[in-house]
């Protein structure tokens, strides 16, 4: 068992590639051989403008987007997008549709209701968000349909996206983890802190033709068109998170892109779910067909043994395994930069635990 490396299963901020962390740390001391820190230079310098341009270009490429889409990197986190999406897309007298699959979807619904007519077209709240609603009706009159692709807290993931005239998706916890045809979406947004970079930046990709359809006076900081016009630099952007996101997207592309990481992510998820299903001391918490490849949630069949299990995984240098307070138990987040070796260490601990305490 590897007892030197910390195996980071944190749900977010999550694990990042070691080479990205190394490059980012060097840039904090001397960026682009300027003998200045990345944290000190002007965001309007040519050096940082090149970073922003590369980050936006890589995001478009990895999401398979064409030039009808514009990409932004903004502050405020994905939670800011809960308000910005309806503010920019929900027309006076129009209706926004939402699928409620967990805490973050519920928060997005709350914000949208403050801006205009909002309809929950499907929900899994009746079973504590342990499944993904399917085969629900989608009104053709909606200004947009909002979904959350992966539910970090509950461990569910949409495997087949619904079809809507304008589909908006919060991909915060599984963006760039699997192949997605971004052109099926009108707008995609994602906080950086799961598969891209540190907390503090959010990527938004929007089909530009959707904008400018609302009549409300637009507050400058909430207007996508203004941010697009200014290259995500209407105000000072979150420089460091954007730089690390660019490095991570570059790392992903150089290693084979989304197709490459999707295969690894599937292998990681299969390895852990197979052990959960085999092991007599653990149960998964979600419908099997909706299991997330990013956030694996499970509980113990004998909860009184949790302190003993905690001792074992902590001794194996595993970090961030406790479940969210709303679910309890355990949650292993398998973001892109987590290695298969780390997953195997966790599986070995689970097997050792069963050999000691089952019976």
DSSP annotation of 289: G
Please give the helix or strand (H or E) that residue 188 lies within, else none: strand 187-191
Q: Are 233 and 44 in contact (CB under 8 A)?
A: yes
Q: Which two tokens stand for residue 37?
A: 């820190």
Q: Are 312 and 237 in contact (CB under 8 A)?
A: no
In angstroms, rounded to a whole number, what is the distance separating the alpha carbons of residues 343 and 226?
Answer: 43
Torsion, Cα of 86, 91, 92, 94 (10° steps): -100
In angstroms, rounded to a whole number, what is the distance separating the alpha carbons of residues 30 and 27?
Answer: 5
Q: Is 32 a catalytic residue?
A: no
Q: Pick the catalytic residue: 70, 143, 174, 194?
A: 194
* Residue partners of 116: CB distance under 8 A and separation at least 6: 86, 90, 91, 92, 94, 95, 96
In angstroms, rounded to a whole number, what is the distance separating the alpha carbons of residues 118 and 100?
Answer: 12
Q: Pick the catalytic residue: 143, 170, 174, 290?
A: 170
Q: Pick the catalytic residue: 104, 174, 251, 268?
A: 104
Q: Are strands 144-148 and 95-100 parallel, antiparallel or unpaired?
A: parallel
Q: Which own/partner contact pairs does 301-310 have at CB distance under 8 Å and 24+ positions apart?
A: 302/357, 305/281, 305/353, 305/357, 308/353, 308/356, 308/357, 309/281, 309/349, 309/353
In angstroms, rounded to a whole number, what is the distance separating the alpha carbons of residues 328 and 326?
Answer: 6
In angstroms, rounded to a whole number, what is the distance separating the alpha carbons of residues 6 and 62?
Answer: 29
Q: Which two tokens stand for residue 75?
A: 């502050």
In angstroms, rounded to a whole number, what is the distance separating the alpha carbons of residues 33 and 323?
Answer: 43
DSSP annotation of 5: S
3-class DSSP assignment, residue 229: helix
Q: Is 33 a catalytic residue?
A: no
Q: Is 92 a catalytic residue?
A: no
User: Which residues are tagged catalytic?
Assistant: 104, 170, 194
């Amino acid at each position: 068992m590897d007892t030197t490396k910390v195996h980071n299963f944190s749900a977010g901020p999550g694990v990042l590639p070691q080479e990205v962390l190394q490059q980012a740390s060097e840039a904090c001391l001397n960026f682009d051989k300027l003998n200045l820190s990345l944290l000190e230079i002007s965001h309007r310098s040519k050096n940082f403008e090149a970073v922003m341009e590369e980050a936006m270009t890589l995001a478009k490429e990895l999401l398979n987007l064409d030039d009808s889409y514009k990409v932004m990197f903004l502050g405020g986190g994905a939670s800011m997008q809960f308000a910005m999406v309806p503010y920019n897309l929900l027309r006076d007298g129009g209706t926004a549709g939402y699928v409620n699959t967990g805490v973050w979807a519920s928060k997005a619904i709350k914000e949208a209701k403050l801006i205009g007519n909002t309809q929950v077209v499907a929900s899994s709240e009746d079973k504590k968000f342990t499944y993904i609603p399917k085969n629900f009706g989608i009104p053709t009159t909606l200004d947009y349909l909002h979904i959350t692709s992966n539910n970090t807290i509950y461990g569910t993931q949409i495997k087949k996206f619904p079809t809507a005239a304008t589909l908006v998706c919060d991909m915060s916890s599984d963006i760039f983890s699997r192949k997605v045809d971004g052109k099926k979406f009108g707008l995609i947004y994602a906080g950086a802190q799961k598969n891209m970079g540190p907390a503090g930046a959010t990527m938004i990709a929007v089909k530009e033709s959707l904008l400018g359809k609302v009549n409300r006076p637009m507050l400058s900081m909430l207007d996508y068109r203004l941010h697009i016009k200014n290259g995500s630099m209407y105000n000072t952007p979150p420089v460091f998170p954007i730089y690390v996101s660019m490095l991570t997207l570059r790392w992903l592309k150089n290693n084979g892109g989304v197709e490459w990481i999707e295969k690894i992510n599937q292998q990681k998820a299969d390895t852990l779910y197979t052990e959960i299903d085999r092991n007599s001391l653990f149960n998964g918490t979600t419908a099997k067909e909706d299991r997330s490849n990013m956030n694996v949630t499970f509980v113990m069949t004998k909860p009184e043994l949790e302190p003993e299990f905690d001792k074992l995984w902590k001794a194996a240098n595993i970090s961030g395994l406790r479940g969210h307070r709303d679910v309890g138990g355990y949650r292993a987040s398998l973001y892109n930069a987590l290695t298969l070796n780390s997953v195997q260490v966790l599986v070995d601990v689970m097997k050792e635990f069963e050999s000691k305490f089952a019976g």
